[in-house]
A and B are shown apart, each in its own frame.
Chain A
Amino acid sequence: MREAFTNWRLKWRALWKRRQLDQDLEDEMAFHLEMREEKNRREGVTDSARQAFGNVALVKEDLWDQWTFRAVENFWRDLRYAARMLRRSPGFTLVAILSLAIGIGGNTAIFSVVDAILLKTLPVRDPEQLRVVLWTGEKGAPTDMAQSYSTTNDSGIRVVSSFPHPTYQQFVANVPQFSDLIGFVGYQVTVLAGAASHYAKEELVTGNFFTGLGVTALAGRTFAPEDDRVGAAPVAVISYRYWERHLGLEPEAIGRTIFINGRPVTVIGVTPKSFVSIRPGYAPDIYIPMALTGIFGDKWLNLADPDTAWVQIVGRLRPGVSDASAMAGLASVMQRAVATGGGKRGKAGKPWQPVLDNGASGLKLLRHNALTPLLVLTSVVGLVLLIACANLANLLLARSVARRREIAVRLSIGAGRSRLIRQLLTESLLLAGMGAALGLALASPLIAVMLRMAGGVAIVAARLDWRALLFTTVVALVTALLFGLAPAFRATRVDLTPALKDGMGGAQGPSPQLRVSRLLIAGQVALSTLLLAGAGLFVRTLMNLSALDPGFQAQRLLLFSVDGSRSGYQGDKLLGFYERIREKIAVIPGVQSVTLSDAALIGNSYSSAGITVPGYTPNDGREPMTYLMRAGRHFLTTMGIPVLLGRDLDGRDVQTAVRVGVVNETFARDYFANENPLGRFFYFHSDDGQKTRPEDRVEIVGVCKDAKYDKLRGEIPPTVYVSYLQAHDYDTGMIFELRTALPPTAIAGAVQRVVASIDRNVPLPEIRTQEEKIRQTLGTERMFAGVVSSFGVIAALLAAIGLYGVMAYAVTRRTSEIGIRVALGAGRGAVQWMVLRESLWMVVTGLAAGIPAALALTRFVQGTLYGIKPNDPVSFIAAGALMIVVAAVAAWIPARRAARVDPMRALRCE
């Protein structure tokens, strides 16, 4: 250790005195020789001292190496040499760096997203001890809970991710395998903090949420157990982001009173910036103790209800406790709940089993949805980088041929082959390094573009951090080896004599370099075809979905949402509040008609219900169901859904009137076959399982055309549009729909003035167009189409550059042969065709490999396609044709040059 230090110190000192070191070594040797010669003279020995010494230069070099950082200095020298070589061919360098930057930048960007969603662990204490507690019932999909969150877990089974609150309490009391069981549920609220009110994401959490996770407050404190008691003074912990955005990072925010849904609550602390959420993709603004759900939650978030599953649970296993033991503990509680618990579950006695998922990275609700897109994107950027590597390897091979003479000279004057390989690899490393640096700069905007294209889904806080940096470095190194190693080995395997005699090498036949190049080109074509075919599929999917007739008029339709229930309105008051807004909006100049509904069309959310239709017996034994939309008057006419029979909802359909509904064609066809449904009726099933209560009876007053409801894809289900005034259970926010020719910006002010004039405490709504809303739901499709086709085009361009390079080189190499052919009477066309044919051969080989590969791989994205099959001939033919055209253009230039060869000149050259 000390010796190493001395060594380093002495070398470091010598580093700054190179001239002195050289002089010293020289002097020391000279002195020695003189002393020796003197002695020889004295003793009459005739041997030359110098001969006895051996090779003085060699000894000096040995000493010099001892005193210098040899490896580092060699590397530095190689680097400067490499930079000089690259500067000498700017075209090559530019193509190399740009293609690497795109390849590496793309990979870095995707890695950041993958990392954020799939890999990173939560910033909490010992994340590996965390388990997500879920359950599954018979047939995998339990449906006997009044409300629940369900998802598909990593093993692909349908699981429910929430429990009734009483079950949660039994877990806490009776499952000692967990040191902490943490419960939480997300909920949207209206907050008044400071001047204006706004909507915010609330997380109702159990009192041990922060202590159990091991998250300490950045400022103030987190919850104590006594905060989570019914009747406790209302307190809230806010997120760093919320603190920053709404409270200006003021320290005085701690202790301040804010209003949530109109009720006062005291802010007691702020979470650290690093802790965003335990669910990637969901970032709560405000945390409230779960016991206060009666004040700050929804009515279905009921602490005592054993039939409504709403508490999501993450547990911390005690050290040394196995998953199996924890499962056993949970299972016994769950069995007891079935046996003894009240409510429907107890009566039905349906079994349920616990499921444990690894919770180190938080809940995986988002992951399952994100998996396919991420897989597709990862493959795409991986392919692009591979293509860039193949292209570079090719260009380097061509260069190494051009540099044969230089390399042969260096080899012949004694440079070691390994030294030369290291030199060439340094060049690759320099290219990869510069590519990576530029790629890193590209990655950030690329992430932003992808997230924006993916739409409001705003997946995660994906950003470039040291992990991404590390990833990029490794990718750059691997890339450098991938494209640099083979050319370096080939370049240094030179037969010296012919190489020194002429730069091109003697033989006329295709050299091994050319054979490898052709293979690489074919490979590039294959991969590019794969990407282009994929791009075709995604673009056509997007086109199909965009051209789809949703069954309503999406143009000139503006939307905004208002939620009065979070500003203290309930029951009749809430309905009156919405009616007042509707009436005032209707008289805004330029508004042709206005209506409202509990869900926006193509908004990814829907309600459905079980129904009983008198006179209808299901032939498959399944109970009839329908989608339902609780809507205001003139909903169908405003949305542009044609009413075929009877009437639209109108002013008659108030609370006191007979409950009516308008059904769509599918509903009429499914449940009334060919009979006229007007005047007929059906019953909604009630929450407590009654199937024909008189107050749940709905009379059918109209039939409308089928229109898409929650999403563009898929079949249109049976749907009934009912008056929201007559829906007893309706008590949350509404979407208002306006038919108008005015642009959203022109009407926003008027709408906000209307809402503010009715209640200042309701957050001001934001106006969006229906078309925007639809576009947003196509985020993934748009991102796929955009990303895959841009990368596909880049790949095809790279293949074209590679093809051009190889053909240009081949033509130069064969100038004399072409000259002879022309001299012997070959026409220009024939020569041109000869070159084109050779290029075409590579392309056809590439296509022959690429198209079957694409056919095999596109099956995996079947689920994301719409209106086409994964082997869509249009996409494949277009990809092949595009590839051939691009290749033909690339080969055209060298082919023309070949045709212009002047035989006299070409032969004289030889």
Chain B
Amino acid sequence: MGEKPERSESMLQGTLDMLVLKALTRGPLHGYDVAEHILAWSGDVLRVEEGALYPALHRLELRGLLASEWGVSANNRRAKFYRLTAAGRKKLAQEKSQWARLSGAIARVMEA
């Protein structure tokens, strides 16, 4: 996957929050893996910059949507793992349905 996207997609903060929450639905991850998951799932399109990722993670944690725990990574290093809280799960469901409505609406406009 040596090819890089031409330009990084700029993302609204709310969208980034949603993606981060989504990335954590499969279980706890550390920050690096959250970025990697988003990159992979977007087909290498959405590269989340660290300068945006970590503030988002901490913001979500401080809002109680994520919880964190220090653990040991696959390569035996001390790493901070984030997981969804019940509140986070609820928030994600809300964002998801909103997003579906919005993107569907945009798609319909573009196809008209």
Q: B-contacting residues of A (Cβ < 8 Å)?
A: 2-3, 6-7, 10-11, 24, 27-29, 31-32, 34-36, 38, 43, 52-55, 58-59, 62-63, 66-67
Contacts and interface: CB of A to CB of B under 8 A. Distances in A.
B72 to A, nearest CB: 11
**What 10 A-B pairs have minimum CB-CB distances, sorted nearest first?**
A6-B64, A35-B32, A54-B51, A3-B63, A53-B50, A7-B62, A28-B80, A32-B32, A62-B55, A66-B58
A11 B32 CA distance: 24
B78 A31 contact: yes
Contacts of A66: 55, 58-59, 62
B64 A32 contact: no
Contacts of B51: 53-55, 58-59
B62 to A, nearest CB: 5
Interface string B45-69: 0000111001100110111100000
Given A6-B63, A32-B31, A54-B50, 15 more contacts: A2-B64, A2-B87, A7-B63, A11-B62, A27-B80, A28-B54, A31-B30, A31-B79, A35-B32, A53-B50, A54-B51, A63-B58, A66-B55, A66-B58, A66-B62
Interface in B57-112: 58-59, 61-64, 70, 73, 75, 77-80, 87
Nearest to B79: A31
Interface in B1-47: 2, 30-32
Contacts of B61: 10
B33 to A, nearest CB: 8
Given A31-B30, A43-B2, A63 B63 contact: no
A269 to B, nearest CB: 57
Interface of B: 2, 30-32, 49-51, 54-55, 58-59, 61-64, 70, 73, 75, 77-80, 87
Nearest to B55: A62
13 contacts: A2-B87, A3-B63, A10-B62, A28-B80, A29-B54, A31-B31, A31-B73, A31-B78, A32-B31, A32-B50, A36-B32, A63-B55, A67-B62
A544 B106 CA distance: 92
Among B31, B62, B70, find the residue whose CB has the most chain A CB atoms closer than 10 A.
B62
A24 to B, nearest CB: 7
Nearest to B1: A43
Contacts of B55: 59, 62-63, 66
B90 to A, nearest CB: 11
Given A31-B32, A35-B32, A66-B58, A59 B63 contact: no
A63 B54 contact: yes
Contacts of B62: 6-7, 10-11, 66-67
A2 B88 CA distance: 13
B77 A31 contact: yes
B77 A34 contact: yes
A743 B26 CA distance: 101
Contacts of B75: 38
Contacts of B54: 28-29, 32, 59, 62-63
A596 to B, nearest CB: 86
A54 B49 contact: yes
Contact of A67 (B58, B63, B78, B80): B58
Nearest to B65: A3
A167 B37 CA distance: 93
Contact of A24 (B50, B77, B80): B80
A541 B64 CA distance: 73
A45 to B, nearest CB: 8
Contacts of A2: 64, 87
A602 B59 CA distance: 79
Contacts of A62: 54-55
A138 to B, nearest CB: 76
B106 to A, nearest CB: 29
B15 to A, nearest CB: 19
Contact of B78 (A27, A32, A36): A27
A11 B62 CA distance: 8
A522 B79 CA distance: 67
A3 to B, nearest CB: 5
A53 B48 CA distance: 10
Among B58, B59, B61, find the residue whose CB has the most chain A CB atoms closer than 10 A.
B58
B42 to A, nearest CB: 17
A701 to B, nearest CB: 100
Contacts of B78: 27, 31
A29 B53 CA distance: 11
A29 B87 CA distance: 26
A294 B55 CA distance: 86
Nearest to A9: B64
A731 to B, nearest CB: 84
Contacts of A24: 70, 80
Nearest to A52: B50
Among A32, A43, A62, A63, find the residue whose CB has the most chain B CB atoms closer than 10 A.
A32
A390 B32 CA distance: 59
Nearest to A24: B80
Nearest to A31: B79
Contacts of A34: 77
Nearest to A14: B62
A7 B65 CA distance: 11
Nearest to B64: A6
Contacts of B32: 31-32, 35-36
Contacts of B50: 32, 52-54, 59
A35 B31 CA distance: 10
Among A29, A54, A59, find the residue whose CB has the most chain B CB atoms closer than 10 A.
A59
Nearest to A6: B64
A34 B79 CA distance: 11
B94 to A, nearest CB: 14
A3 B65 CA distance: 9
